[in-house]
Amino acid sequence: MIKIDLTQGLGIQPNLEKLAGTTKAEKVPSFADTLKGIVQQADKNSAAAGEAIKDFVAGKDIALHEVMATREESQISFQFMLEIRNKLMDAYQEVSRMQV
């Protein structure tokens, strides 16, 4: 059976010990830090895809399948980041519609 880890390559590394509070003197990343990590990883993936494309066009020793894989990884991480933004916006709008 193949195990799929949706957090791999996106800058998110879940640690069950941290979530359970069993580790000592280790800080659990905040929500803002997690979002910042996702945005930074999407940016890194985009830059890597751009470099791979430039290298391929320049005739450097890089295979087309590697360029396409790098570009696809960049696109997926951007879509993931965009979906998180959409969910956050939906949650914000829902909270703003609440009556106090």
**Residue-wise pLDDT tens digits, 72-82:** 999 999 999 99
pLDDT band with cut points at 50, 70 and 90 for residue 56: very high
Instruction: Answer yes or no: is 39 within a domain.
Output: yes
pLDDT at 29: 87
Residue 8 CA to residue 12 CA, distance in Å, equals 7
State yes or no: pLDDT of 83 exceeds 90: yes
CA pair distance 75, 6, nearest whole angstrom:
14
Domain annotation covers residue 77: yes
Total domain count, the chain = 1
pTM, two decimals, is 0.66
Q: Residue 74 is part of which domain span?
A: 16-96
| Digit-coded pLDDT (tens) for 3-53 | 555 555 555 555 555 556 555 567 888 989 999 999 999 999 999 999 999
Whether 9 maps to a domain, the answer reads no
Report the pLDDT value the prediction gives residue 71, as an integer from 0 to 100. 96
